[in-house]
Structure 1
Amino acid sequence: MDKDRIEGAGKQAKGAIKEGIGKATGDTSMQVEGKADKAEGKVQNAVGGAKDKVREGS
């Protein structure tokens, strides 16, 4: 498994936690940061998945 997939999953989890805390406390900026972290994590995870596919095809 590519390290980008692992890091991406971590960023998604971190983003979900931030978003949840932001919702619970009414902190809109923290919610937005959480959503951004989740999106960044999804992209990084997808990049890692693509790298894995390339390696599998080799």
Structure 2
Amino acid sequence: MNKDQVKGTLKQAAGKVQETTGKVIGSTDQQTKGIKRQVQGRVQKTVGDVKQVVKDASKG
């Protein structure tokens, strides 16, 4: 697992917490920010996944 995969996963989790908090307190702004953070996390994790595939392919 590389740093992009880890950071992306953490960003997704933080975004989910932010989205849920926004729902609880009735803040659509926080919900939107949470969803945006989740998407950024997914993208970062995907980049990390691709890097890992390339790294693994170059080894073998």
Instruction: Please say whether Structure 1 and Structure 2 have the same fold, judged by a TM-score greater than 0.5.
Output: yes
Identity of aligned residues (%): 40
Structure 2: state its 5+ residue gaps.
none
TM-score, reference length from structure 2: 0.95
2:50 maps to 1:50: yes
Tell me which stretches of 4 or more aligned residues in structure 1 moved more than 6 Å: none
Q: Which residue of 1 aligns with 2:18?
A: 18
- Count of residues in correspondence between the two structures: 58
Distance in 1 (CA, whole Å) between partners of 2:21 and 2:5 is: 24
Structure 1: state its 5+ residue gaps.
none
TM-score, reference length from structure 1: 0.98
Distance in 2 (CA, whole Å) between partners of 1:33 and 1:5 is: 21
Shift of 1:2: 1.1
Paired letter, 1:41: G
